[in-house]
Structure 1
Amino acid sequence: MIETRLLSTDELLRSLVDEVTEIRVRENAALQMIAELDRRGAASELGYRNLPQVLRHVVRWDLHVATRWIDTAALLTSEITPTGSELAPVLPLTAQAVAEGALSVEHIAAVAAVMKTVPAEHEATVVGYARTFEPRTVRTLGGKLAYSLYQDDPEPREPDPTPPPANEHSMQWKNGRLEIRAKLDKVTGAKYEALLDPLAKPRPDTGEGPDPRTRSRREGDALAELIELMLRADQLPEHGGEPVTMTVTLRYEDLVKQVGEAMLDTGEHLPADQVRRVACDAGIIPAVLGGEGQPLDIGRKTRSFPARIRRALVLRDRGCAFPGCDRPPRHCDGHHVRHWADGGDTSVDNAVLLCRAHHTLIHQSKWEVRMINGIPTFYPPAWLDPQQRPRRNLINTA
Structure 2
Amino acid sequence: MMQKIAELERRGAASELGYRNVAHVLRHAVRWDLKTARQWVARAESLTRQLTPTGSFLEPELPVTAAVVAEGALSGEHISAVAEVMKDLPPEAEQPVVEFAQAHEPSAVRSFGKELAYRLYQQDAEPSEAVPPTPVNRLRMEWKGDQLEVSAKLDKIAGAKFEAMIDPLAKPRPTTPEEGQDPRSRAEREGDAFADLIDLMLRADRLPEHGGEPVTLTLTMTYRELAEQTGFATLDTRERMPATLVRRLACNAGVIPVVLGGRSEQVDIGRKTRTFPASIRRLLVARDQGCTFPGCDRPPRHCDAHHIRFWSEGGETSVENAALLCRHHHTLIHQSEWEVRLLNGTPTFTPPAWLDPTRTPRTNTTTHPDRSQVA
The TM tier, using the shorter chain, reads 0.3 to 0.5
Higher relative contact order (CA 8 A, sep 6+): 2
TM-score, normalising length from structure 2? 0.44
TM-score, normalising length from structure 1? 0.42
